[in-house]
Amino acid sequence: MIAPLTPQNVMEYIKDFNALGNQALKNLIEEANMRDDVLPPVQLEVGTLLHLLVFLQQPQSVLELGTGIGISTIFMALGLPKKGRITTIEKEEKFATYAKKNFIRMEVSEKINLVVGDVEQIVPTMTDSFDFIFQDSGKQTYLPLLDKLVTLLKPGGVLVFDDTLFPTFDLPERNKRTQRAIHRFNLEVKSHPDLESFILPFAHGLTMAIKKD
Ligand SMILES: C[S@@+](CC[C@H](N)C(=O)[O-])C[C@H]1O[C@@H](n2cnc3c(N)ncnc32)[C@H](O)[C@@H]1O
């Protein structure tokens, strides 16, 4: 696993100050981190931040790209207003099956519509609009899907992208293509006429953007 940007002693210190003291969710993350057959979920702190952002914005409709086993989806679901719903897309059937079980375990299933498929095929066909979008799927999909995600987002809506400080990490040669792709993506976000954005230097880097009215 790639070490987060934040020093370990800071992570240790803040972990007891989390707004979401949900032990069942902490257990779920610990279980996921111990497995080697799933990609790592968001860290507790990133999940808590997503939860707070959703709780602040009170979106009726959330779109997530890259469900994994559903940890980030659950963090957001627990911050939704009563009628809020999440559509989340995952291409790996096996992960989607785990995610469904986790949604039942955390009692959030009725808030979540899980779509199994490739975001590069599904997102371009979507027509619904969303108040909040979280992109955490394949890093090579970030740039090609950027304009479509901005179109799907309502004015005033929030877009969050995970892992956007990948270009700053000292990674092996096999990751260079992904690092270049994320760097090109960061440049596009910065100059996008419809977005105001900021890269939060936390975890692996989180870009937060708002669609201008
Ligand atoms: C880092 S994991 C997501 C973790 C999850 N968001 C969480 O924090 O709990 C990335 C996920 O995106 C999925 N993924 C990657 N490329 C995808 C694509 N093109 N379409 C759909 N899902 C994709 C992977 O299978 C993986 O489960």
90 vs 103: CA distance, rounded Å: 14
Report the CATH number that the domain containing residue 187 is assigned in CATH: 3.40.50.150
In a domain, 124, yes or no: yes
- Secondary structure letter of residue 83 according to DSSP: T
Question: How many domains are there within the chain?
Answer: 1
Strands 112-116 and 85-90, bridge-based pairing:
parallel
* Residue span of the structural domain in which 64 resides: 8-211
Query: Is 141 a member of any domain?
Result: yes
pLDDT tens, N- to C-terminus, the chain (213 residues): 677 788 888 888 887 777 677 888 888 888 888 888 877 788 888 999 999 999 999 999 999 999 999 999 999 999 999 999 999 999 999 999 999 999 999 999 999 999 999 999 999 999 999 999 999 999 999 999 999 999 999 999 999 999 999 999 999 999 999 999 999 999 999 999 999 999 999 889 999 999 998
In Å, the largest CA–CA distance within the chain is: 46
DSSP β-bridge partners for residue 115: 89
pTM: 0.95
Residue 2 placed within a domain: no
Q: Let me know if residue 51 belongs to a domain.
A: yes
Assigned domain for 180 exists: yes
Q: How far is the CA of 90 from the centre of ligand 1 (A)?
A: 6
Please check whether residue 1 lies inside any domain of the structure: no
Within a domain: residue 181?
A: yes
Pocket test for ligand 1, best of 62, 90, 103 (most atoms within 8 A of CB): 90
In a domain, 3, yes or no: no
User: Do residues 202 and 46 lie in contact, with contact meaning Cβ atoms separated by under 8 Å?
Assistant: yes
